[in-house]
């Protein structure tokens, strides 16, 4: 089972270490982790994707709530939230297959950011499974390197949402 | 405008504001500004002989007074030595504030002399920690630290104080209130859940309450005793719940767990309603929690929501402070009929009582513990160490109105002597006895000097078998008597140790006239050391 924890934390030094330490100490998985500031500079949001059984997911939420630097823990499933990830990926090409790569990019809504005579630097921002798909499609051409941000996630819109 | 004082003076003022009357500690350069300032204060300083014992002494103090215990160490090795004390307190949810000196803040991270990243090192053993980087933060940090340590699920909080911050100046004003947006412990139980528990009690035929250390931390002993007596609900306890129920309470059925009473485990495993109160269902208490939940309605009451469902999936979770919740229970009138169940438990209690065959010519530790606890003052404090001595203590201690302290969660050897010191300092009117083995004694007997220097009159009893008995027993069962690393040959003559610290000494070899000998020992003025020679091959089971 996959869960997405959107964790609002105090924007202080050491907090990332405490949260990561909690996961390692209790042997919880981190599938992906993304950290950034929110509209309030004193608050950061950590989006942690984890997987495990029901009891473990419940424990993660409770243990996170116990940490004193954590303000709020929101738990999403893949169904009730929107997830996006950004990836930059560099692929090798030969003169004969460049247009194949560009076609794949067009189909998957990826764009070319930079190129040389032997490689393309491609950007994609999409749901994690689309990112996986792009990697799979580009692998045969030869991946030079890639970097991913980790999943960001917010709950889907509901009626009557209030601004803070 | 407030007068300017140094950070070190502010630290002392904070302790005074919190009503601290004693600190247990050990100095070093990085904490010297603090010890220089506390010199002018009424707060007593107890110099332990190694930092770990400052933690244990503060723990004993906290457990007797219900207040926050304070221990202080210097940077680097002082701080790292303190870690076991902090971890021991954490495992038993004991409220401590640990203060450590740190190298000058501009040197942090350069691996200078006596530098250790102590806030990093203790991260998984503290409720919270602070590295103070601005002198103006001292009052807020101390206020928060005492608040965090003593509320919700209690536990240790560490404050790391760089030496330059201790020397800088600030205008001191102690905050009246704590405002932490991330920390709001639940105290009051949810009314719907409370009602569910009462309904479950009405329909149950075989209910059992299992109490843990949380009951003592909440100060709810009386409430448990009354609730159990009023509704005739049997009570068992975990090791940390020792002392909640007096031994002669008609509804008391002993300690559970692999080292507990067989009839207590039978009670728990055959119950149709099990109410866990302030117990975290660790492996030594309940080895297979999922088997228990199969046929039993489990109510789990704890102030820490993360404990509920961690090791055992309860049918009725109930978050809150035990004392508050029991007071809420008392508002409900109900009558259950558990008489058949209680009769069954009585039968088991008689049938399953352990019949020991102690070897002649030695002190029988079980009978000794019984006689000792019966002959102590009614409200005396018994501190058990770790090892076979702990199991005998738990199983044969006669609880009346006293307190029973031990390191249950972490099982830290050497706990009893420093914890007994802290306990005695916490309540000077109480008789305090530490019972340890010859292994655990040798882990902390340097504290005999502290006892002497600070005139802390406690009685220490060593059950001597010349082995690390608990491990020897394990090797007996698991490795067919291949005794590896467990012989204590080379141990000192305790009579000479006692003489070296000018402490009265008594050695007993067998059961002859033993009660009179115990009485005489307990009646000694000041502190004293007693050695009981027990059979090296005796077993707790």
Separation CA B88–CA B105 (nearest Å): 29
Q: Which of A62, A69, A73 should we substitute to test contact with B (largest number of B Cβ atoms within 10 Å)?
A: A62
Distance from CA of B129 to the nearest CA of A (A): 10
Inter-chain CB proximity A68 and B127 less than 8 Å: yes
- Chain B CB contacts of A66 under 8 Å are 304-306
Number of A/B CB contacts below 8 angstroms equals: 35
Of B148, B182, B305, Cβ closest to residue A62:
B305
Q: Any idea which architecture B191-351 has in CATH?
A: 3-Layer(aba) Sandwich (3.40)
pLDDT bracket for residue A144 (50, 70, 90): very high
Domains and CATH numbers, chain A: 2-77 (3.30.70.260), 82-153 (3.30.70.1150)
Distance from CA of B480 to the nearest CA of A (A): 34
Query: If you measure CA to CA, which chain B residue comes closest to A13?
Result: B131
- DSSP at B359: P
Same fold, B191-351 and B365-533: yes
Domain boundaries, chain B: 4-171, 191-351, 365-533
Of B148, B182, B306, Cβ closest to residue A71:
B182
Of A62, A63, A68, Cβ closest to residue B183:
A68
Token couple for A151: 């999943």
Inter-chain CB proximity A17 and B120 less than 8 Å: yes
Separation CA B404–CA B446 (nearest Å): 23
Q: In Å, what is the CA distance from A164 to each residue of A43, A80, A82, A161? A: 13, 21, 20, 10
Backbone angles phi, psi at B206, to 5 degrees: -135, 65
Q: What pTM was computed for the model?
A: 0.95
Q: What is the pLDDT of residue B403?
A: 97
Q: What is the pLDDT of residue A40?
A: 96
- Chain B CB contacts of A26 under 8 Å are none
Distance from CA of A102 to the nearest CA of B (A): 48
**DSSP track, B381-423:** EEEE-SSHHHHHHHHH---SSSEEE---SS--TT-HHHHHHHH
pLDDT: which is higher, A163 or B494: B494
Token couple for B501: 């610290």
Separation CA A10–CA A20 (nearest Å): 15
Residue stretches of chain B with pLDDT short of 70: 1
Q: What is the pLDDT of residue B136?
A: 98
Separation CA A149–CA A162 (nearest Å): 29
Q: Which of B109, B289, B306, B310 should we substitute to test contact with A (largest number of A Cβ atoms within 10 Å)?
A: B306
Query: If you measure CA to CA, which chain B residue comes closest to A26?
Result: B124
Of A14, A68, A70, Cβ closest to residue B148:
A68
Q: Which of B13, B53, B12 is nearest to B33 (CA)?
A: B12
ipTM of the complex, rounded to two decimals: 0.87
What is the side-by-side strand order in the sheet with B528-533?
B403-405, B381-384, B432-437, B459-464, B528-533, B505-508
Q: Which CATH class is domain B4-171?
A: alpha beta
pLDDT single digits (tens) A41-86: 999 999 999 999 999 999 999 999 999 999 999 999 888 999 999 9
- Chain A CB contacts of B310 under 8 Å are 59, 62
Q: CB-based contacts of B448: which residues, under 8 Å, 6+ apart?
A: B417, B460, B497, B498, B501, B503, B529
Token couple for B167: 């020397």
Q: What is the pLDDT of residue A103?
A: 97
- Cα maximum dimension of chain B: 76
Backbone angles phi, psi at B355, to 5 degrees: -105, 105
Of B119, B124, B182, Cβ closest to residue A25:
B124
Chain B positions with Cβ closer than 8 Å to A: 119-120, 123-124, 127-128, 148, 180-183, 304-306, 309-310, 313
Separation CA B516–CA B124 (nearest Å): 48
Chain A positions with Cβ closer than 8 Å to B: 10, 14, 17-18, 21, 25, 55, 58-59, 62-63, 65-71
Q: What is the pLDDT of residue B292?
A: 78
- Chain B CB contacts of A18 under 8 Å are 123
Q: CB-based contacts of B266: which residues, under 8 Å, 6+ apart?
A: B345, B348, B352
Q: What is the pLDDT of residue B1?
A: 61
Separation CA B483–CA B307 (nearest Å): 38
Inter-chain CB proximity A14 and B180 less than 8 Å: no
Of A59, A65, A70, Cβ closest to residue B310:
A59
The angle subtended at Cα B267 by Cα A59 and Cα B154, nearest 5°, is 40
Q: What is the pLDDT of residue B283?
A: 83
Of A25, A62, A71, Cβ closest to residue B306:
A62
Query: If you measure CA to CA, which chain A residue comes closest to B313?
Result: A55
pLDDT single digits (tens) B123-137: 999 999 999 999 999
- Chain B CB contacts of A21 under 8 Å are 123-124
Backbone angles phi, psi at B273, to 5 degrees: -140, 115
- Chain A CB contacts of B154 under 8 Å are none
- Chain A CB contacts of B280 under 8 Å are none
Distance from CA of A62 to the nearest CA of B (A): 5
Inter-chain CB proximity A71 and B181 less than 8 Å: yes
The CATH number given to B365-533 is: 3.40.50.970
- Chain B CB contacts of A65 under 8 Å are 305-306
Token couple for B139: 């009052």
CB B233 within 8 A of CB B205: no
Inter-chain CB proximity A58 and B305 less than 8 Å: no
- Chain B CB contacts of A24 under 8 Å are none
Separation CA B62–CA B67 (nearest Å): 5
């Amino acid at each position: 089972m996959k869960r997405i924890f959107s964790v609002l934390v105090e924007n202080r030094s050491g907090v990332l270490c405490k949260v990561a330490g909690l996961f390692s100490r209790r042997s919880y998985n981190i599938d992906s982790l993304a950290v950034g500031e929110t509209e309030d500079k004193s608050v950061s949001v950590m989006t942690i994707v984890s997987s495990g059984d029901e009891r473990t997911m419940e424990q993660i939420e409770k243990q996170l709530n116990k940490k004193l630097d954590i303000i709020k823990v929101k738990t999403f499933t893949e169904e009730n939230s929107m997830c996006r990830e950004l990836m930059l990926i560099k692929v090798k090409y030969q003169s004969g297959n460049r247009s194949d790569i560009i076609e794949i990019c067009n189909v998957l809504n990826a764009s070319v950011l930079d190129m040389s005579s032997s490689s393309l630097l491609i950007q994609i921002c999409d749901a994690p499974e689309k990112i996986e798909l792009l990697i799979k499609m580009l692998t045969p051409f030869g991946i030079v390197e890639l970097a991913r941000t980790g999943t960001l996630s917010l709950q889907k819109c509901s009626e009557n949402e209030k601004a803070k | 405008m407030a007068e300017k004082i140094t950070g070190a003076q502010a630290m002392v003022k904070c302790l005074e504001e919190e009503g601290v009357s004693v600190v247990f500690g050990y100095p070093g350069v990085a904490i010297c500004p603090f010890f220089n300032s506390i010199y002018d204060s009424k707060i007593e300083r107890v110099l332990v002989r190694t930092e770990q014992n400052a933690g244990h002494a503060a723990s004993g103090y906290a457990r007797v007074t219900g207040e926050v215990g304070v221990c202080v160490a210097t940077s680097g090795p002082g701080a790292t030595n303190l870690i076991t004390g902090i971890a021991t307190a954490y495992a038993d949810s004991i409220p401590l504030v640990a203060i450590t000196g740190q190298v000058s803040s501009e040197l942090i991270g350069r691996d200078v002399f006596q530098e250790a990243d102590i806030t990093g090192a203790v991260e998984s053993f503290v409720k919270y920690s602070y590295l103070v980087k601005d002198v103006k933060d001292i009052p807020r940090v101390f206020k928060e630290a005492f608040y965090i340590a003593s509320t919700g699920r209690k536990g240790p909080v560490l404050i790391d104080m760089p030496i330059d911050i201790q020397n800088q100046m600030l205008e001191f004003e102690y905050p009246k209130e704590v405002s932490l947006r991330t920390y709001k412990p639940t105290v009051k139980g949810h009314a719907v859940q409370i009602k569910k528990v009462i309904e479950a009690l009405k329909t149950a035929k075989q209910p059992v309450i299992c109490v843990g250390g949380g009951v003592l931390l909440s100060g709810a002993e009386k409430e448990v005793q009354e609730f159990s007596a009023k509704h005739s609900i049997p009570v068992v306890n975990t090791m940390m719940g020792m002392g909640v129920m007096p031994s002669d309470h008609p509804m008391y059925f002993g300690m559970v767990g692999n080292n507990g009473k067989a009839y207590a485990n039978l009670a728990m495993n055959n119950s149709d309603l099990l109410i866990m109160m302030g117990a975290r269902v660790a492996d030594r208490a309940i080895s297979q929690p999922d088997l228990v939940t199969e046929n039993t309605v489990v109510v789990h009451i704890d102030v820490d929501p993360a404990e509920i469902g961690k090791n055992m999936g309860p049918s009725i979770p109930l978050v809150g402070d035990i004392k508050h919740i029991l007071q809420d229970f008392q508002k409900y009138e109900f009558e259950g009929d558990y008489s058949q169940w209680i009769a069954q438990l009585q039968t088991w209690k008689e049938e399953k009582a352990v019949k020991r065959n102690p070897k002649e010519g030695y002190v029988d530790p079980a009978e000794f513990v019984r006689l000792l606890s019966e002959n102590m003052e009614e409200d005396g404090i018994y501190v058990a160490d770790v090892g076979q001595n702990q199991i005998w203590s738990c199983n044969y201690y006669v609880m009346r109105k006293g307190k029973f302290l031990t390191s249950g969660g972490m099982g830290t050897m050497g706990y009893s002597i420093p914890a007994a010191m802290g306990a005695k300092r916490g309540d000077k009117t109480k008789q305090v006895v530490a019972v340890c083995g010859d292994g655990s004694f040798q882990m902390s007997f340097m504290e005999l000097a502290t006892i002497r220097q600070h005139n802390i009159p406690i009685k220490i009893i060593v059950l001597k078998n010349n082995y690390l008995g608990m491990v020897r027993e394990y090797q007996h069962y698991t490795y067919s008597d291949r005794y590896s690393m467990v012989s204590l040959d080379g141990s000192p003559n305790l009579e000479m140790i006692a003489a070296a610290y000018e402490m009265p000494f008594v050695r007993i070899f067998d059961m002859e006239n033993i009660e009179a000998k115990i009485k005489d020992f307990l009646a000694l003025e000041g502190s004293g050391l007693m050695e009981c020679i027990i059979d090296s091959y005796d077993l707790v089971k």
